[in-house]
Amino acid sequence: MNNYPFGFNTVGGTLNGSAVGGGGGFRRLLWILLGMWILGSLGLGWLVKSVLFLVALVVLVPIVGLLGFQWWLNRNLVSGECPVCHQPVQGLNGGTMDCPSCGEALEVQGGTFGRQAQAGTIDIQAVEVMSQVVEE
């Protein structure tokens, strides 16, 4: 049987080689809290607060960053269809992209997709007009 300091065993969640259900984690937590209390009573409370601040920072920054990124993406992701081939596409508002189906260069403006015309090109849309015969 191996003797580990303070009853810690790093193999398989056991305590001093014997299987103890959950006691090792609680004992470890008590030792950590005792160490923080001793540091605080020796006048090193600033050290404990600094470590707790850094742990909170490491935990909270990714969570806040992920929530902020999701909020930004929900406001800027535009879904629609290509004006040329009418396939569904997604893009970021204010950006340019190529249609994955037909390869047409598209720009996203105001929540809609439009063709990206080269300088000097006039882009028009054809409208079908029904013809009527006028009898005299």
Stretch (H or E) spanning 89: strand 88-92
Residue 64 maps to a domain: no
Residue 103 maps to a domain: yes
pLDDT tens digit at each of 136 positions of the chain: 555 555 555 555 554 545 445 567 888 888 888 888 888 788 887 877 888 889 899 999 999 999 999 999 999 999 999 988 999 999 998 888 999 988 888 998 888 888 887 777 776 778 888 888 878 7
Residue 26 maps to a domain: yes
Structural domains of the chain, count: 2
Give the residue numbers spanning the domain of 82. 78-115
Burial class (CB in 10 A: 0-12, 13-18, 19+), 108: buried
Please say whether the dihedral angle defined by the alpha carbons of residues 83, 107, 127 and 79, taken in this order, is positive or negative: positive
Residue 89 maps to a domain: yes
Query: Which residues face 79 on adjacent strands?
Result: 90
Residue 19 maps to a domain: yes
